[in-house]
């Protein structure tokens, strides 16, 4: 067994864990395999998760998490007073170990100031000098695997370990989705596809015209389409829905919680999405994904993790990738990374996946 500052986990008697990830919803989902592995290896561990309220929803009902601590770093907890408030909470809990996939200085400072004796984070963290154990951030592997690597000083992790995140919609979430399907007269043997055309990053969105043309073609192939997303995606989804103007296109963006959306995606044969959180939601519920990568690249490690998923992108562009999350505005003004993606390529992949659909 590997060491954690000279001692094995058995000698340290670690029980109280704090996992810190205060980034986007997708980042939190990709941290869940780390949590699940802690529970698998330390059955009596107490595991708390620190995150923002918007991302906390994906943690609801998760059996491997004891409690969720909300840190509204951009709102009511913004600034030094908010930092002090959350710090007081952490000090009272007397954690044995903090695991920090989030790479901000604030996250590192928080666990250091809380006096947590063992603090594990990446060498790419702005606050890495505040950690007791620093793990190399490997660019060549998936984010899930990078996060899991933070545990290697605690217990042995087989090289071929592959852990999928899990989400847990409750009975009310399931009934909400069943009600929507019943209202649309959709039976379980109907083939429906979820499409997520939104993103908080403008340049990560495939064109509206592209989605309109794609959905029109899919309808002709007898697919039913659900447009999914947050409240901020409603206007975009409504525009697409009105332009297609067909009863087989149903806009539920902004109507469902994250876990209800997860349940709808779980029941679908496929998700088509930009490089955004729905990709990782689909990974967690076992649904194949066709992910459209524009200004970003799968090489950063945020591609869909299921083997039967696909990535579609335009290669050979000197400006790609422009940033890790894409830019607010195309730096060249041409937007070639997205306009170069055609609906014909996507439909070919839809037929390859949905034509032989089987949950794994």
Distance (Å, whole) CA 149 – CA 211: 38
CB distance 22 to 51 below 8 Å: yes
pLDDT digits (tens, 9 = 90+) for 328-350: 788 888 889 889 999 999 999 99
- Does the pLDDT value for residue 356 go beyond 60? no
Q: Which of 8-22, 179-193, 311-325 has the lowest mean pLDDT?
A: 8-22
Residue 156 lies inside a defined structural domain of this protein? no
Q: Cβ neighbours of residue 149 under 8 Å, at least 6 residues apart?
A: 135, 136, 138, 141, 157
Which of 218 and 328 is assigned the larger pLDDT?
218
Residue 157 lies inside a defined structural domain of this protein? no
User: Mean pLDDT throughout 21-48?
Assistant: 95
CATH number, residue 136: 3.40.50.2000
Residue in 140, 157, 139 with CA at minimum distance from that of residue 148: 157
Distance (Å, whole) CA 272 – CA 286: 14
**74, 117: one domain:** yes
The whole-chain average pLDDT of the chain stands at 90
Confidence of residue 76 (pLDDT cuts 50, 70, 90): low
Confidence of residue 7 (pLDDT cuts 50, 70, 90): very low
**pLDDT at residue 26, rounded to an integer:** 95
Which of 279 and 159 is assigned the larger pLDDT?
279
Q: How big is the CA angle at 224 (ends 220 and 225), to the nearest 5 degrees?
A: 105
**Residue located via tokens 């009310």:** 172
**pLDDT at residue 77, rounded to an integer:** 63
Residue 155 lies inside a defined structural domain of this protein? no
**109, 179: one domain:** no
**Lateral strand order in the sheet of 118-122:** 67-70, 46-51, 16-20, 97-100, 118-122, 133-135
Note down the domain range covering 181: 171-354
**pLDDT at residue 10, rounded to an integer:** 54
Residue in 208, 179, 229 with CA at minimum distance from that of residue 338: 208
**144, 179: one domain:** no
- Does the pLDDT value for residue 187 go beyond 90? no
How buried is residue 254: exposed, middle or buried, by Cβ count under 10 Å (0-12/13-18/19+)?
Answer: middle
**182, 237: one domain:** yes
- Does the pLDDT value for residue 55 go beyond 70? yes
Residue 348 lies inside a defined structural domain of this protein? yes
- Does the pLDDT value for residue 188 go beyond 80? no
- Does the pLDDT value for residue 259 go beyond 60? yes
**204, 131: one domain:** no
pLDDT digits (tens, 9 = 90+) for 220-252: 998 999 999 999 999 999 999 999 999 999 999
**192, 140: one domain:** no
Give the number of domains in the chain: 2
**42, 96: one domain:** yes
**190, 281: one domain:** yes
**196, 313: one domain:** yes
Tokens of 165: 């995140």
pLDDT digits (tens, 9 = 90+) for 88-134: 999 999 999 999 999 999 999 999 999 999 999 999 999 999 999 99
**pLDDT at residue 40, rounded to an integer:** 93
For residue 310, what are the β-bridge partners? 290
- Does the pLDDT value for residue 52 go beyond 50? yes
**214, 276: one domain:** yes
H-assigned helices in 206-321:
208-220, 234-244, 258-267, 277-285
Residue 38 lies inside a defined structural domain of this protein? yes
**pLDDT at residue 310, rounded to an integer:** 95
Residue 297 lies inside a defined structural domain of this protein? yes
Cα atoms in the 13 Å half-sphere on the side-chain side of 83: 12
**pLDDT at residue 360, rounded to an integer:** 39
**320, 226: one domain:** yes
Residue 91 lies inside a defined structural domain of this protein? yes
- Does the pLDDT value for residue 9 go beyond 80? no
**72, 145: one domain:** yes
User: Mean pLDDT throughout 29-33?
Assistant: 98
**pLDDT at residue 2, rounded to an integer:** 37
Residue in 244, 199, 170 with CA at minimum distance from that of residue 26: 199
User: Mean pLDDT throughout 72-81?
Assistant: 74
Residue 123 lies inside a defined structural domain of this protein? yes
- Does the pLDDT value for residue 143 go beyond 70? yes
Residue in 176, 177, 169 with CA at minimum distance from that of residue 194: 177
The pTM (predicted TM-score) of the whole model is: 0.92
């Amino acid at each position: 067994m590997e060491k954690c500052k000279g001692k094995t986990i058995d000698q340290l008697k670690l029980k109280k864990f704090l996992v810190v990830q205060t980034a986007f919803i997708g980042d939190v989902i990709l941290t869940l395999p780390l949590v699940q592995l802690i529970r698998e290896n330390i059955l009596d561990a107490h595991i708390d998760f620190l995150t923002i309220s918007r991302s906390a929803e994906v943690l609801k009902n998760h059996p491997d998490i004891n409690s969720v601590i909300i840190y509204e770093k951009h709102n009511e907890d913004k600034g030094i007073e908010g930092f002090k408030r959350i710090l007081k909470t952490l000090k009272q809990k007397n954690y044995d170990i903090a695991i920090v996939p989030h790479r901000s200085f604030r996250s590192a400072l928080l666990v250091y100031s809380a006096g947590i004796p063992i603090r594990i984070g990446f060498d790419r963290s702005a606050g890495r000098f505040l950690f007791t154990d620093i793990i190399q951030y490997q660019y060549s592997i998936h984010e899930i695997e990078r996060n899991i690597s933070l545990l290697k000083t605690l217990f042995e992790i087989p090289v071929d370990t592959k852990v999928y995140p899990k989400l847990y919609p409750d009975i009310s979430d399931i009934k909400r989705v069943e009600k929507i399907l019943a209202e649309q007269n959709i039976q379980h043997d109907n083939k429906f596809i979820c499409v997520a055309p939104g993103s908080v990053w403008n340049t990560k969105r495939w064109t509206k015209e592209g989605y309109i043309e794609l959905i029109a073609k899919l309808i002709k192939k007898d697919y039913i389409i659900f447009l999914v997303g947050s409240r901020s995606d409603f206007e975009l989804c409504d525009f697409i829905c009105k332009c297609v103007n067909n009863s087989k296109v149903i806009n539920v963006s902004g109507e469902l919680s994250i876990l209800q959306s997860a349940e709808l995606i779980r029941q679908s044969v496929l998700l088509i999405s930009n490089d955004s959180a729905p990709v990782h939601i689909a990974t967690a519920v076992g649904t194949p994904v066709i992910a459209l990568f524009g200004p970003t690249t799968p090489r950063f490690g945020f591609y869909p993790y299921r083997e039967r998923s696909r990535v579609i992108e335009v290669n050979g562009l000197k400006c790609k990738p422009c940033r890790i999350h894409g830019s607010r505005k195309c730096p060249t003004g041409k937007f070639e990374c997205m306009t170069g993606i055609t609906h014909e390529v996507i439909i070919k992949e839809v037929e390859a996946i949905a034509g032989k659909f089987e949950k794994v």
